[in-house]
Amino acid sequence: MKKEMKVGIGFATGRKQFKQVLKTYIYNWRESELTSSDKVSLNLFVAYDLNYHNTKPSDYTNINSELLELVDGICLIGNEKMQAEISGLIEQGIINERQAKLVFGRGYAGKRNIIQYMALKEGIDYLMFLDDDEYPLAVTNSETAVWGGQQGLRTHLTYIQHADMTNGHHCGYISPIPYLEYNDILQESDFQTFIQAISNDIVNWDTIKSVMANGGVTYADTRVLVNREVEEVEEVNHSKFISGSNLCINLTDPNRVNAFYNPPNARGEDTFLATCLHDRKVLRVPSYTFHDGFSMYKNLLDGVLPTKLDNIKADCEEVIQRFYKACIGWIRYKPLWLYITDRKKYEERIQEMREQLAATLPKICEYFGRNDFMKIAAELENYHHNVKKHYNNFIETQQAWENICNAFSSEVPQQLLKIETGA
């Protein structure tokens, strides 16, 4: 029997714990009565990267058959399958090789785009993106940590039919910025200046300061959980802020679907997508995921609910390294973000960033005991130098994606491809 609604769930992953996270979500959908629904068809799309954490195909493809029986289809996308799909698009003259590299290149943007493409090809109506380090839980701050299960997919499906996108909330260790104890080397004003230099307008100092005061933890807002309010995301500085996970996209009209993009070796694919949503309806829906950003709470997947969440202190190499990588990632995409959102003041903003970094990077290096933080200044100059090139690539990516979507729109609706299992 054909089901009324075809739903895709997309994972762009590279972690060995993926299968455990997937199991948790599938059981969550069963508890939400979605796996037994006569109206909803659940289809998995998994684009995996073997190089991210040195994994092997079986870390993603060897999924328990009992779990697979609870979903209607699965499409596993390794490099070989991705290249085959790209070759097909090129042969049909829909895009050329350069455009293929832009749309489906390395990084999270390329992985998310191939998932979107395969979902469109399969005739999926609504596609929800989930991350492999986020769990269907909310934690609130009381005398002890109070946990609650979240029916995320069901919540999104309630609202996505009347929007272009729905985006949920996040709690847990969202920020890669650890808790800091200021001293004579690094004072709060120094760190504030540094964060303002590398972050975007949405990641503001007041928010970060509040999270740091909680030891690096973002707690769920009980008002969201109790009142279950939905709000439309307003456009601020040419962007409608979204996150790349706990995000559902309406695919019923391919011409209203946009491509993800990030500059080479940078992140920000959700940030740049946010700048394309001027005439799109985006809703913030009352559904949380818990972000295990430092991989400290994998036991949550086994039902272990801690009564207290630990502070993330900058006292170990792993925490400092994650913060360093985040800083590099932020600085690499900020020039393009400024170029898109504040073109008139672009040069002025870049000069301000230079001055802020010059004043604070030596202190950051001394505080963390790592001179490689100085590379942040060099990365700024590199990505500033290439900002027009990256902007042109961003525009060309959207144009190439439009060609792909036009091809879907012009076809007679039909089952284009039976979902395949395999790399």
pLDDT 10s digits, 373-421: 999 999 999 999 999 999 999 999 999 999 999 998 765 333 333 333 3
- Per the document, the length of the chain is 423
> Tell me, what's the pLDDT at 52?
78
> pLDDT by residue (tens digit) across 336-358?
999 999 999 999 999 999 999 99
User: Hey, what are 263's tokens?
Assistant: 């500059």
* Residue 59 identity: D
User: Hey, what are 246's tokens?
Assistant: 């706990």
Low-confidence ranges of the chain (pLDDT < 50): 412-423
CA Rg value for the chain: 21
**Owner of token pair 């500085």:** 237
> Tell me, what's the pLDDT at 357?
98
Rounded to an integer, what distance in angstroms lies between the CA atom of residue 280 and that of residue 263?
Answer: 23
Residue 72: other Cβ atoms inside 10 A: 16
This prediction has a pTM of: 0.93
> Tell me, what's the pLDDT at 240?
95
> Tell me, what's the pLDDT at 421?
33
> pLDDT by residue (tens digit) across 174-203?
988 888 999 999 999 999 999 999 987 666
> Tell me, what's the pLDDT at 201?
65
> Tell me, what's the pLDDT at 343?
95
**DSSP character at residue 218:** B
User: Hey, what are 222's tokens?
Assistant: 């009980």
Contact present, 134 and 25 (Cβ < 8 Å): no
> Tell me, what's the pLDDT at 179?
86
Contact present, 120 and 114 (Cβ < 8 Å): no
What burial letters (b/e) apply to 376-386, b meaning 16+ CB within 10 Å? bbebbeebbeb
> Tell me, what's the pLDDT at 293?
86
> Tell me, what's the pLDDT at 416?
34
Rounded to an integer, what distance in angstroms lies between the CA atom of residue 225 and that of residue 400?
Answer: 40
356 to each of 76, 178, 198, 247, 407, how far by Cα in Å? 45, 20, 9, 34, 47
* Residue 232 identity: E
Could you give the dihedral angle defined by the CA atoms of residues 262, 156, 280 and 237, in that order, rounded to the nearest 10 degrees? -60
What residue ranges define each of the domains in the chain, with the CATH number in brackets? Answer: 5-410 (3.90.550)
